[in-house]
Structure 1
């Protein structure tokens, strides 16, 4: 739940928070009857401000309260069937406050200030502003606003497809890293990379720039590729925009953009201690604490500490990870807030890089999913330190400024054995590959924009003006050597541990490489209300891009520059009703490429056009979001791996331009409280990608890891009455087949089922059990399958969670 504090100087005397009013079901009951009849209430012990918001949503009330009255106060748990009056009395007991109930409106005031409060000016602040900054505490799979589009905006007002994975969904489904989160979002996939990291993709295209609180930085430009990783412990939610995102981040992916929105300093004291234990000796503990650090509540803090120890269903694999996060938010004035934070990840273990080799025809050898092809001396160490800073200033009720900065330093060191090749019938034909890698990179991102609203010609308008900058520098080294004669049925896990010198002495190679990439741009957008129901959005971005690449293997030095590239954007949103809007949008793509040809030349930029038509709805008093979209994207000059060139580009494939490619399809999604106590998120995607013009692949599928059909469903139901402490959840993910790396064989589609049972033992203690892959489906996760062998999905597994939230 976002802070219950609104820094609007003219409104400091009083604030009205308008929350979800009654839905169709509640509207059929008269106001007096609805307020006197018992209703199911489920409120955990928490800050009073948040508890009142939860009560208003569950009882379908309009709540009016001055933030100063409830600031710093706590509320007890209220669980069971109560009338509104009974629930209010329990929440306000001992606070010196009481509630006046009039119709469906509730006014909270001091016992001695009834007359004073009645004369105070009450100003309605919409739930969009109150809920847009966080999903914590909302107990919902839906959110009414996102910040990925520069400033909080309602989903139905944005003419592109956007999904949000809220904190509730992350916690319920046990999501701990970004790859898992991508694989529960509509239309996105997260696959294992060539390294131990991941690749994010949507609509058939990689998303290589990731946003952190709206600041975009490159996260997938390592020399050896795909070693990026990201946990979810520090983040409130994940926002995913699908479709071209050039206006947001310049050289954006045509697939879309992701925005990780971090947790903030809290307005009330809260402490949550979570412990977990599961299959394969997976254990963890997390402390999440925060609250005001001074009497005025103008300085707020947040600390997250997460320790994890785990083995794997794959033999010998293990990991030890420590994640730390600390954040401060300070109100310099009622209109200006600055935030700073730092996070650190330190992960060590024995990794499994690459997968289990396949037969020459791409078929599964049939070995146990626990098969480990590495060596016992496999080791890796990932370290990541990130510093965040931002400033939010409100000039007045209509004009705001936000300035954000980010610095991330990252190192990834590993020594590991791989095993690859086409498996013969007797298991022979294997090659052992010994690798030593050291990847070191620094990323800097800056973003500043001003957003304002004004009236002209009797209609509402909104403008955004901004500029951003990003810089990426890497200093990478790898050494490798290949030894033939291995047998998949008799893997040697005890081969001699290599050093750089021993690899070179055995005829291997050592290479250095570095990137120095800078991008800057200015952007602007204008939302103009042409008529009462019709809004036009136009925008443009000018981008400057500089890339310098150096590689020692072929003494390569490449320079790429682009100056003043213009990226236009246009959209229309038509309000069919207060709940439904139809839209259409167009944007172009300018995407420089760091890939090189076998001749050593950097590929020309990608140029493309993205079209989308859709309809969006905010239903059930804005507790449910729905969307339906059709899309098409065409582009040219896309780089694809030049397999014929071998590993001529620093131990990896070189690239060639692919000609023209098309991605098109349909997406549908619903999220939120579709029935009383029933939360649902369901998303379906139909997506085809094809080479329209290509010397070798014309007519073939472009994206080998994008299934034509994807359906992801998760539902959570809190039982009524005497069983109200029990919440049951279940869902499934299903997708059609994908292709192997060289498109010569199919990877079968699959369906997995998961479930969860949670019980509120006391107001402070909650226990839950997650059972994943209930039917123990054996399946191969799409990715670089064939080149990296087969990476299997997790077998059936269980995770037990105990969460303790003491009253403070």
Structure 2
């Protein structure tokens, strides 16, 4: 074992007497060592392999090792443990190991070893123990962040676990430049640089997630995923009809090379309890079949009276090596979420002031109920022709069922009266069913031609969404005030609303299909310079049909169908990356934007597609042997034909607002980010965004802010420190998110900005048991969340101070 008292450290275990060094060096072993102190990791590798290792104790003092997981030689495991430590492994003439500092003469050797380890680990962040991602897959293939001429953020598995982030909306609000807000339904809206991100990628396959009759019902657990990759700026090249704000790619967990089991229990404020099992590993002796299973149970009350939620989630995955060069991946996930929600929050006074009520105020009825069930099937096949060429095809099928029966409180006019009156009860029954299918296939290759290193990507993708939706509602004026909400009004049903004065219903169907062919070419005319050229050709078909029915009638009146077809739309892309040094690079990129719109005008026609131009220049750094990623970017996006709500038309579009083209708008700003181990034991994520959005040409709103819920200033910071020495079992986390004010929907009032602090305390009770206490909103800040704030509703309080205690058990094998 490691002896801190000796001048020269020697490790010799009993196994060494049974296994010769030569045999140990050539025997492949299975390692399952979590990230931790470097000395402990080296000791564990030596003990398991029977090797002898010598080193100076001061060399490893306070240094951390990444996770060492998989089947490999002991020497490979040692190299992996030493990654980023500025130390190197030596093999003595007797076949034993020694560790010494990296010298200039050995720097090339150390870099070669590191690159091999990174390639074998691919872009997976699970077990890395780091907030810095070595590479990403959001742009097809695998690239470092420095190689991509756009802003990219990766939220790693460690950061999600440290912050206790299990929901995509919460994770978005801890990420540079993203805003995740409560929609008008139970789900969320994701925006970046002032624009919604409606298509989400799963393992690189995009599918639409936010197109519903009523809208904003999409929810997403994060427990199935290894990491969240975010690209900010126009994303149409590989995603098709992408958002000009960016793209999000959720990369799922895979079967591991070594057996692993993690059992996590948690208990927290408002009767919040949870239990999760996450297990995986090889399913046969050769390790060519690997599995993963996740089961999660979560139930909670709320700081809001009467609210509660229960979620049951299951995930299973298989990764099968059909041959040494071909891997098949299959998975299925299921989330069943049941709750008593409060939808659309609280209204405001007519002058825009918020109502002076407790944060626990509930505006719904005791019979409010929501069910959101999501089943997703994943499949992918990757064939590696050689080290330079690979073909991959991926598919996703998602089925969503969203049902709710709920009461909303809103205003009968433009805001509440001064005494809290002017309120009405809106009764709703919604039943939304949708199926999304996505397919993507691509070929990537590296080669040398004309003495220049080159890379090409050729591919195509297809997405389809069909829905079968219906909802019924009534609006009931009342003399009640916001201070005396009736939670015990008679329960409602779909049929009952059609037999109620003022009741009406709408049925609708979407059929949206898009396909495209894309290609990109990376070329290095000379060593520091990389040029990136690409283009995409897209086809888009849209169909929407609906019918309305009034109360006490059996007559369903069909509305005129809306259809749209776009053929052969070309989206060009160009980028340049210039390496200033091994660590730093400057870049610039340009792309056009093609974004069909599903919004309709009062006349029933669909708006023409958005057209726009995106520019970005920046500086990126990969510091400290890749342990720290940094970036600084300036961006501008000009857009025409953006849809805005046509309030003047009333509820002319199937009981909801129609839209009009907004003319020309601009989003521009600056972003800066740093992530990784900035000091020994200190993991840091910090991202700042300055973003302005403005109408440049508009008959009504010219000169005004167009994205009301995009703050001008956003800063997200989180850090976690792992103590060393006698305190090496303790870790602490601290961070905050702060943002400036936003505007209400009517632009006549401000939603104040806020700063919220969070903290964490961790203690490794034993090598297998870890304890953690997370405290959110540490100083109990009272604030309204920025989002779809309106005078007649959708004003939601942020969570008060709350805590979560967790116990994680990870047995060793």
| Structure 1 residues 54-87: Cα deviation after superposition (integer angstroms, max 9, x where no partner) | 631374344699xxxxxxxxxxxxxxxxxxx9xx
Counterpart for residue 704 of structure 2: 700
The answer to whether the aligner puts 1:360 opposite 2:364 as a matched pair is no
The answer (yes or no) to whether the contact 1:46–1:270 under 8 Å persists in 2 is no
Distance 1:298 1:249, change over 3 A: same
Q: Indicate if the aligned counterparts of 2:80 and 2:114 stay in contact, CA closer than 8 A.
A: no
Deviation at 1:35, TM superposition (A): 7.0
Partner Cα separation in structure 2 for residue 376 and residue 416 of structure 1? 9
Which residue is 1:500 aligned to? Answer: 494
Structure 2 counterparts to residues 502-521 of structure 1, below 5 A? 502-506=496-500, 507-521=502-516
Distance in 1, matches of 2:78 and 2:223, equals 27
> 2:98 corresponds to which residue?
101
Deviation for aligned residue 1:127? 4.1
Aligned partners of 1:474, 1:782: CA distance in 2, in Å?
Answer: 30
Whether 1:547 and 2:537 are equivalent positions in the alignment is no
Superposition deviation, residue 783 in structure 1: 1.1
Report the Cα distance in structure 1 between the residues aligned to 2:419 and 2:58, rounded to whole angstroms. Answer: 77
CA 1:402–1:566 in structure 2 vs 1: closer, same or farther (change >3 Å)?
same
For residues 400-458 of structure 1, the C-alpha deviation after alignment (integer angstroms, 9 at most, x for no partner) is: 11100000000000000000012222221001000000000000000000000111122
Q: Tell me, in whole angstroms, the C-alpha distance in 2 between the residues paired with 1:258 and 1:182.
A: 10
Q: Once the 2 structures are TM-superposed, how far is the Cα of residue 364 of structure 1 from its aligned partner?
A: 1.3
Alpha-carbon shift at residue 46 of structure 1 (Å): 7.2
Match of 1:402 in 2: 392
Task: Give the distance between the partners of 2:455 and 2:402, measured in 1 at CA.
Answer: 44
Asked whether the equivalents of residues 199 and 226 of structure 1 are also in contact (C-alpha less than 8 Å), the reply is yes
The answer to whether the 8 Å contact 2:131/2:156 transfers is yes
Q: Which residue of 1 aligns with 2:249?
A: 259
Specify the alignment match of 1:118 in structure 2.
none
SS of equivalent to 1:189: strand
Q: Map residues 57-206 of structure 1 onto 2, 5 A cutoff.
A: 57=83, 59-62=85-88, 99-101=96-98, 103=100, 125-206=115-196
Judged with a 3 Å threshold, the aligned counterparts in structure 2 of structure 1 residues 502 and 125 are, in CA distance, closer, same or farther, namely: same
Q: Equivalents in 2 of 1:598, 1:680: separation in Å? A: 50
Structure 2 match to 1:79? none
- 1:764-789 Cα shifts (integer Å, max 9, x gaps): 00000001101111111111101433
SS at match of 1:248: helix
**In structure 2, how many angstroms separate the alpha carbons of the residues matched to 1:225 and 1:268?**
43
Q: Check 1:734–1:102 CA distance in 2 against 1; reply closer, same or farther (3 A cut).
A: closer
Contact 2:84-2:625 within 8 A present in 1 as well: no
Of the three residues 58, 61, 65, the one matched with 1:39 is 61
2 CA distance for matches of 1:56 and 1:641? 57
Flag the 1:617–1:508 CA change in 2: closer, same or farther, 3 A: same
Look up the match of 2:589: 585
Distance 1:105 1:267, change over 3 A: farther
Residue number among 407, 411, 428 corresponding to 1:435 in the alignment: 428
CA distance in 1, matches of 2:702, 2:58: 69
Q: 1:657 aligns with which of 653, 656, 661?
A: 661
Is residue 67–residue 129 contact of structure 2 (8 Å, CA) maintained in 1? no
Deviates more, 1:480-489 or 1:660-669: 480-489
SS, match of residue 158 in structure 2: helix
Partner Cα distance (1:263, 1:576) in 2: 35
1:8-65 per-position Cα deviation (integer Å, ceiling 9, x unaligned): xxxx9999x9xx9xxxxxxxxxx99767745236679974769746631374344699
Within 5 Å, which residues of 2 pair with 1:757-772? Answer: 757-772=761-776
Q: Aligned in 2, Cα 1:775/1:463: closer, same or farther, shift over 3 Å?
A: same
Q: Quick one: structure 1 residues 37 and 576, their matched pair in 2 at CA, closer, same or farther if it must change by over 3 Å?
A: closer
Q: 1:98 to 1:307 in 2, by over 3 A?
A: farther
Structure 1, 393-402 or 47-56: larger mean CA deviation:
47-56
Count of aligned residue pairs for this structure pair? 740
1:463 aligns with 2:456: yes
For 1:738 and 1:134, the matched residues in 2 are separated by 36
Deviations 1:452-498 (A, max 9, x none): 01111222100000000000000000000000013211111010111
Are the aligned partners of 1:734 and 1:752 in contact in 2 as well (CA < 8 Å)?
yes
Counterpart of 1:649 in 2: which secondary structure?
Answer: coil
The 10-residue stretch of structure 1 (451-460 or 139-148) with the greater mean CA deviation from structure 2: 451-460
User: In the alignment, which residue of structure 2 is the partner of 1:454?
Assistant: 447
Instruction: Choose from 628, 633, 638 the match for 1:629.
Output: 633
Deviations 1:741-774 (A, max 9, x none): 1111100000000100000000000000001101
Distance 1:628 1:374 in 2: 45
SS at the partner of 1:145? coil
Q: Is residue 791 of structure 1 aligned with residue 809 of structure 2? A: no
Establish whether residue 800 from structure 1 lines up as the match of residue 794 from structure 2.
Answer: no
Aligned pair partner of 2:335 in 345, 363, 374: 345
Given that 2:65 and 2:83 are in contact with CA atoms closer than 8 Å, whether structure 1 keeps it comes out as no
Q: Provide, for residues 249-295 of structure 1, a one-character-per-residue CA deviation record: whole Å limited to 9, x for no partner.
A: 11000000000000001100000000011101110000000000000
SS class of match (1:126): helix
User: Contact 2:278/2:293 (CA < 8 Å) preserved in 1?
Assistant: yes
Tell me the TM-score normalised to structure 2 length.
Answer: 0.88
Residue 501 of structure 1: how far off its partner (Å): 2.5
- CA positional deviation for 1:719: 1.2
Report if aligned partners of 2:84, 2:624 keep a CA contact under 8 Å in 1: no
Query: Conserved in 2, the CA contact under 8 Å of 1:402 and 1:448?
Result: yes
Query: What SS does the corresponding residue of 2:237 show, helix, strand or coil?
Result: helix
Aligned with residue 775 of structure 1, among 773, 779, 782: 779
Query: Does the C-alpha gap of structure 1 residues 275 and 46 become closer, same or farther in structure 2, counting only changes over 3 Å?
Result: farther
Contact 2:87 2:99 in 1 (8 A): no
CA distance in 2, matches of 1:46, 1:573: 33
Contact 1:516 1:549 in 2 (8 A): yes
Q: Are 1:617 and 2:614 matched, yes or no?
A: no
* Partner SS state of residue 83, structure 2: helix
Structure 1 residue 323 corresponds to structure 2 residue 313: yes
Q: Quickly say closer, same or farther: Cα 1:45–1:61, change in 2 above 3 A.
A: closer
**Equivalent residue number for residue 756 of structure 1:** 760
Deviation at 1:505, TM superposition (A): 1.9
Query: How far apart are 1:100 and its partner, in Å?
Result: 2.5
Q: Which residue does 1:73 correspond to in 2?
A: none
- Change in Cα spacing, 1:497 to 1:163, as seen in structure 2 (3 Å) is same
SS at match of 1:342: strand
Q: SS at 2:526's partner residue?
A: coil
Decide whether the 8 Å contact of 2:278 with 2:292 is kept in 1.
yes
Q: 2:609·2:641 contact (CA, 8 Å) conserved in 1?
A: yes
Quote the Cα distance in structure 1 between the aligned partners of 2:498 and 2:522: 61
SS in 1 for 2:238: helix
Give TM-score, length-normalised by structure 1.
Answer: 0.89
Q: Does the residue aligned with 1:722 lie in a helix, a strand or coil?
A: helix
Q: Confirm or deny: 8 A CA contact 1:325 1:343 kept in the other structure.
A: yes
> C-alpha separation between the residues in 2 aligned to 1:99 and 1:408?
53
Q: Aligned with 2:230: secondary structure?
A: strand
- Residues 124 and 227 of structure 1: CA distance in aligned 2, closer, same or farther (over 3 Å): closer
Unaligned runs of 5+ in 2: 1-25, 36-52, 104-111, 549-557
CA RMSD of aligned residues (A): 2.4
1:641 maps to 2:645: yes
| Structure 1 residues 293 and 594, CA gap change in structure 2 (3 angstroms) | same
- The runs of 5 or more residues in structure 1 that have no matched partner are 1-11, 21-30, 66-84, 86-96, 107-121
